[in-house]
A = this chain, B = another copy of it.
């Protein structure tokens, strides 16, 4: 288990929650260096999210919640009305940093509600309430990941080797991760389990982050290129595919890192179960199906350059979607903090969202 905190709120002085700042692992520097960012402004946070220094759907949600505390702190208004207006503006600003992960919007909505309800308090108390709510989101995320791990563990019974894509581990969340949570728990319980790690082009979150996390934790893992997943499945070396999600529509269609959909098609062709792990904050019941999930397009240099070196001709056209959508029909189960959802997902996801945490 990775005890490193990917993201946290650090008060400037002991015993007082505000003022404070965000401390976060700079995920673009791994695995070469473990560097921590200290973020004190909304502008810096927005930039850290856009450049993927902070990434992973749950971690982005937590970061955005902390971001609204920063907005209140850096507000030039002394009165709460002006401070609230600044918080609302920051929420709009942060919401546009990345379009696909719904946890971002979920966390901002929850914080905005808290801010609006606290607008009759003194300024210091207003900031304190916001910080407490953001820290609550952070703490819940840790508990939720642990619960996802426990529910997901059932699905790992009898499985010797799983395959994962991108990074849905501790680095993507406050601690345990989503797709990696059951793997960490299996390891804690000393159940032998091998993990194939897709390197996950173009930004190599699998090679840089998942491989690093699992190696640190002493878990038996093998790195492969994304295009080798089909072969290891054909060789009978994958008992289950387990991935995270950036947004799950009401019918179970799940957006996740580009390449996930292809993996799901390959898993079905090889009769390998395909499992999505995500907190209910990733479930977007207002979006009826995957076709309505907006897919972020990233810049061409993510594909044409590597470590600052040109790896493709400059004139070539590039298509660079950051995510794809896996139709529910390819998904064997969706694991959340409230249990294991099975098809038909219209019913089971709704039930999971209604349940108490």
Contact = CB atoms under 8 A, between A and B. Distances in A.
A151 interface: no
Contact of A31 (B208, B225, B229, B313): B313
Contacts of A24: none
Contacts of A319: 196, 222-224, 228, 232
A185 to B, nearest CB: 21
B306 A306 contact: yes
With a 10 A CB-CB cut-off, give which of A226, A228, A307, A320 has the most chain B CB atoms: A228
Nearest to A234: B261
A321 B215 contact: no
11 contacts: A31-B310, A199-B312, A200-B227, A201-B226, A204-B311, A214-B316, A222-B316, A223-B318, A224-B303, A230-B261, A307-B311
A16 interface: no
Contacts of A313: 31, 211-212, 215
Interface in A262-277: 262, 265-266, 268-269
A35 to B, nearest CB: 15
A304 B223 contact: yes
A317 B200 CA distance: 16
Contact of A201 (B32, B225, B234, B320): B225
A207 interface: yes
A266 B266 CA distance: 7
A202 interface: yes
A147 B2 CA distance: 58
The 8 A-B pairs at the shortest CB distance, nearest first, are namely A227-B259, A230-B262, A201-B225, A207-B312, A307-B309, A226-B227, A211-B316, A222-B317
A221 interface: yes
Interface in A174-210: 196-202, 204, 207-208
Given A199-B201, A201-B226, A319-B222, A231 B262 contact: yes
Given A231-B324, A266-B265, A324-B230, A316 B215 contact: yes
Contacts of A308: 307
A269 B261 contact: no
Given A207-B304, A224-B319, A229 B262 contact: yes
Contacts of A234: 261, 324
Contacts of A268: 269
A307 B305 CA distance: 10
A303 B223 contact: yes
A78 B188 CA distance: 71
